[in-house]
Amino acid sequence: MKLNEHYFELTESYLFSDIARRVKAFAAAHPDQKIIRMGIGDVTRPLPPAVTAALEGAAREMGQRETFRGYGPEQGYPFLREAVAAYYQSHSTVVSPEEIFIGDGAKSDLGNILDLFSPACTVLIPDPVYPVYVDTNVMAGRRIVYLNASGQNGFLPLPDPRVKADILYICSPNNPTGAAYDRQGLQAFVDYARENGALILYDAAYEAFITDPALPRSIYEIEGARQCAIEFCSLSKTAGFTGLRCGYTVVPQELVFEGHSLRAMWLRRQTTKFNGVSYPVQRAAAVALSEEGRRASEENISYYRENARLLMQALDKRGIFYTGGRHSPYLFMRCENGMGSWQYFDWLLENAGIVGTPGAGFGKNGENYFRLSAFGGREETKEAAERLLNL
């Protein structure tokens, strides 16, 4: 037996277990202090009634001989692929249902897509970053080159034509920084990719938080992107599906490398290693993307946006630099008084009872930064904003 030795090159991440340990110790020492947790990027609003009704309806269908469904199409039911295409159409992007693949979440697809590419590819990944981009490539033994994001470039770095890469990752609006590229920024990536025969893996998981129509919600709003980009999106943040598990990946027909269609390769991967998303979840997703579902989801997103506004207001009054908050549920704030990320974590917990995520956990350029999430409840977010103000 020969193991995949690249697994042993992975660095263990203790980020969230470290946080949990420190919070536990603090809570034990200060039993009367109310702790406000703003560390985790998970939604908290319940699913809208139309969506739960769709789940229940599909459950009943599965209980009757006449309406029972077994294996579905690996690529997803046509009714859901058409709903995703209509969702794109609603913000003026044309994508064909044939190019849409329903999956169980962007995390799965972002990892699994790498099956199509040689371990000899070089990968360009921004820093700070969602750790999954790094780990999935380390597992395959690919060379990683980092693209440095920082307060100086507003955490929106542009590709350097002297650095050559085969695969580029973009997450916009970004996790963890909340920064969102404008059209010009994304055009620079598309131009770089086309000049270098490279592929963009575009993570649009937070697109629903964009309010400014001048900012692109899809990479396909950029000219030439259909020739060089795969887009990953999910209903997790758009419609509160983190527990239901449903996402979609768009692989345009025009994506041909070395004479091979990536769409055909991905279809082959999915039919071989995947058996489709749960039928009731696909029904729920189709309703979440309908007009009624979108209105309900928009209310939840507005709720989180108001949370973000309260936090931004506090940071603005204190004159603290941050990115995000406007088109994102995340605020990436500069730690006060030049503190390091973990030092600030302890200080903020001690002085305000607020838990956030140290930026250093997302890469070296996250050092001296700190992520706050707007996914909490209104009352606790209000209180957190007040505590930040009164620090």
In the complex, least distance from residue 64 CB atom to a copy of itself, rounded to whole angstroms: 5
Select from 29, 32, 34, 118 the one that contacts a copy of itself (CB under 8 A).
118
Residues 147-186 interacting with a copy of itself (rule: CB under 8 A): 166-167
Nearer to a copy of itself among residue 65 and residue 162 (C-beta): 65
Near a copy of itself by CB under 8 A, which window of 55-63, 81-89, 208-216, 380-388? 55-63
Nearer to a copy of itself among residue 224 and residue 340 (C-beta): 224
> Can residue 7 be called a binding residue for a copy of itself (CB under 8 A)?
yes
Nearer to a copy of itself among residue 138 and residue 320 (C-beta): 138
> Under DSSP, is residue 357 helix (H, G, I), strand (E, B) or coil?
strand
C-alpha–C-alpha distance, residues 353 and 388, integer Å:
10
Residues 213-242 interacting with a copy of itself (rule: CB under 8 A): 240, 242
Structure tokens at 40: 């985790």
Nearer to a copy of itself among residue 269 and residue 387 (C-beta): 269
C-alpha–C-alpha distance, residues 154 and 381, integer Å:
25
Nearer to a copy of itself among residue 150 and residue 242 (C-beta): 242
Q: Which residues of 92-130 are buried (b: 16+ CB within 10 A; e: fewer)?
A: ebebebebbbbbbbbbbbbbbbbebbeeebbbbbbbbbb
C-alpha–C-alpha distance, residues 219 and 200, integer Å:
9
C-alpha–C-alpha distance, residues 208 and 173, integer Å:
9
| Spatial strand order in the sheet of 322-324 | 322-324, 330-334, 369-373, 357-358
User: 203 near 232, Cβ under 8 Å?
Assistant: yes
Closest CA to 366 of 322, 329, 328, 325: 322
> Can residue 11 be called a binding residue for a copy of itself (CB under 8 A)?
no
> Can residue 361 be called a binding residue for a copy of itself (CB under 8 A)?
no
DSSP for residue 251: -
> Can residue 243 be called a binding residue for a copy of itself (CB under 8 A)?
yes
Residues 263-282 as x/- pattern, contact with a copy of itself by CB under 8 A: --x--xx--xxxxxxxxxx-
Near a copy of itself by CB under 8 A, which window of 56-64, 82-90, 303-311, 380-388? 56-64
Nearer to a copy of itself among residue 103 and residue 356 (C-beta): 103
Select from 35, 62, 86, 339 the one that contacts a copy of itself (CB under 8 A).
62
User: 50 near 287, Cβ under 8 Å?
Assistant: yes
